[in-house]
Structure 1
Amino acid sequence: MDKVDKNVNALPPVLAELVQRFDGELSLCVSDLQGEMLFCHEARQVFKAASLIKLPILSCALKTVETGALSLQDRLPLAAQDQVPGAGVLHEMETGLALTVKDLLTLMIIVSDNTATNVLIERLGRDTINRHIQQIGLKDTFLVGKLQMPPELQNELQRTGQRSTTSAADMNLWLLKLWQGQLLNPEHTALALGILKKQQDRLVIARRLPRNSDGELMFEVASKSGEIQYHRHDVGIVFAEKPYAVSLLSRGSKDLREHPDHILTLSLAEVSERIFYLMQAL
């Protein structure tokens, strides 16, 4: 049985102390890039995915490119019904704009653009994405439908209150499979990692990691964050001297601000920093 399922990895005291005083529910999963699970806590707990659902959409789109059914240079038109609020910039653009698949994937990840995501979901199909999720072995991840849709455009599942889901265990598995070349061919693996390294949200995993005298991170981080009401997440690969994959999911704080100093954001950044120094000491 998967060690993550058994949750057998006891946390070191310096990490357990942060977990115990965490303001809300915290799920974490940390492994080296060979796949050995090092630190786990409630890793199979299911959370609302928020923008983490964009990771399997990324790999599904690139896998579809590999089959020849889609090209990175295909242009997909921006339809009015796909323009939704929240993260990103495309909801402010003129309807009819046609961006390449590569541009849409880039916007979906680096600024978490919800409209770009909806254009890709429309092209790929929800069922295709969910089949991809199952095929790559994610157990707790499910795309319920397009993001941020108004009530009159929601699908049947969304109208019942269902939302897309995932877990720290699933996200860590996705990161490891991407890095190990199990999701995509070398060309598209490199493309996906390159996009993830450009994510502009550096408020959690990268926030308190070492920086040089110019304030720049001393090593690369390939990551994706997620944020909705009561939830803050961040998952990624930290390419430090001893590299590792880390998935941090949280919920439950009464802090309703959309703010860089949201209490969950600050707490997760502290957990990330503690994990970094534990990893480098191994």
Structure 2
Amino acid sequence: MKKKLLTIVFCMLQLAVFAQLSARDILKQKTEKDLQTIMATSPSLSGLMAVDLSSGESISINENVVFTQASAIKIPILMEVYKQAHEKKFALTDIKPLLPSNTVAGSGILNVMVDPVNLSIRNLCVLMIGLSDNSATNTLIELVGMKNVTNTMQSLGFSNTRLQRKMIDQPASLRNEENISTPAEAVRIMKLLYEGKFIDKSTSDEILSILMNNPVANSKIADGISANVKIAFKPGGMGGVSTEWAIVYLSNRPYAITIMENYKTSATPSNIISALSKRVFDYFSMMKATKYGVLIEN
């Protein structure tokens, strides 16, 4: 009898707590549960964080887990280039030759150029992001210094965001010298750029403009959002790893989102990032509604 009474009291308390939740609280709980369900369809490890850039509301799962970043680490490299240019260590218009020591395979086009390649630092940045060119990336890493990229990230409070090797360096990878970050830190980096707080608004905006000129076909996050919504992003991928950092310019509800996967195998579904992105996009789209759920298009 006593056990039955305790069960009734517990259920009543649960109902009382549930009754105090707002409709938006319930929608957020549902969204988080759905995201967990999507992740559970994969044997791999996934992490996600999304932050509403208007309200500061966030959704996160495994947000503090450290993931290998593949080409997404090129965003911190780009930031370091612009930082040193701002410090007058060089001009973005300066010309840099492509050296054989920095020419590697993988994504990009510079590695197949036959004649000597001499490009401005700004154009190397555009190639590093737009075509994810690894040879351009290695040239820029040599220019700014690998440790300086990590030091700048740490000075900004991103202690788990580290550049530890050049692109396509398998021996370094085997030594676990990977380029790393977490969903939480990557989102904060994107938020910093969106708010114009990296160096100054002009610099932050120029970095974002380079990210916005990426071909949308390369974005798995873009697969989960409406075609008319702009996105600034950089994906990354290598054996067992997929990552993407992005700002989704949803009208009146822009948000930063980072999604990361590792330990991927042939059994890992190819649409995890897209599916997670769609669920987050649907949630923030619903948050554009009034308190009582009336969606007014604008």
| TM-score interval, smaller chain | 0.7 to 0.9
Q: Is the 8 A contact 1:79 1:95 kept in 2?
A: no
Tell me the residue number matched to 1:249. Answer: 260
Equivalence map 1:1-282=2 (5 Å): 12-34=32-54, 36-94=56-114, 96-149=116-169, 151=171, 160-200=175-215, 201-210=217-226, 217-241=227-251, 242-255=253-266, 263-282=268-287
Tell me the residue number matched to 1:6. Answer: none
Using the alignment, how far apart are the partners of 2:194 and 2:134 within structure 1?
25
Using the alignment, how far apart are the partners of 1:95 and 1:117 within structure 2?
19
Letter in 1 for 2:264: S
Distance 1:150 1:12, change over 3 A: closer
- The TM-score with structure 1 as length reference comes to 0.85
Letter in 2 for 1:91: N
After superposition, the C-alpha distances for 1:114-161 in whole angstroms (9 at most, x for unaligned) are 11110001110112111111112112111112111365xxxxx65633
After superposition, the C-alpha distances for 1:99-128 in whole angstroms (9 at most, x for unaligned) are 111101111111111111100011101121
Q: How many positions carry a matched residue from both structures? A: 257
Using the alignment, how far apart are the partners of 1:169 and 1:143 within structure 2?
17
Deviation larger for 164-173 or 15-24: 15-24
- Computing the radius of gyration from Cα coordinates, the structure with the larger value is 2
Distance 1:58 1:35, change over 3 A: farther
Where 1:250 maps in the other structure, the secondary structure is strand
Q: Is the 8 A contact 2:74 2:129 kept in 1?
A: yes
Q: Is the 8 A contact 2:193 2:204 kept in 1?
A: yes
Where 1:207 maps in the other structure, the secondary structure is helix
Q: Aligned-residue CA RMSD in angstroms? A: 1.9
Distance 1:280 1:111, change over 3 A: same
Q: How far does residue 253 in structure 1 lie from its aligned partner after superposition?
A: 2.4
More helix, by proportion: 2
Q: Is the 8 A contact 1:64 1:70 kept in 2?
A: yes
Tell me the residue number matched to 1:260. Answer: none
Q: Unaligned regions of 5+ residues in structure 2, if any?
A: 1-27, 288-298
Tell me the residue number matched to 1:3. Answer: none
Tell me the residue number matched to 1:5. Answer: none
Q: How far does residue 15 in structure 1 lie from its aligned partner after superposition?
A: 2.3
Tell me the residue number matched to 1:214. Answer: none
Q: Is the 8 A contact 1:104 1:117 kept in 2?
A: yes
Q: Is the 8 A contact 2:197 2:204 kept in 1?
A: no
What percentage of residue pairs aligned between the two structures are identical?
A: 25
Where 2:209 maps in the other structure, the secondary structure is helix
Letter in 1 for 2:187: N
- The TM-score with structure 2 as length reference comes to 0.81
Q: How far does residue 184 in structure 1 lie from its aligned partner after superposition?
A: 2.8
Tell me the residue number matched to 2:25. Answer: none
Q: Is the 8 A contact 1:144 1:158 kept in 2?
A: no
Using the alignment, how far apart are the partners of 2:90 and 2:247 within structure 1?
27
Structure 1 stretches of 4+ with a deviation exceeding 4 A read none
Q: How far does residue 50 in structure 1 lie from its aligned partner after superposition?
A: 0.6
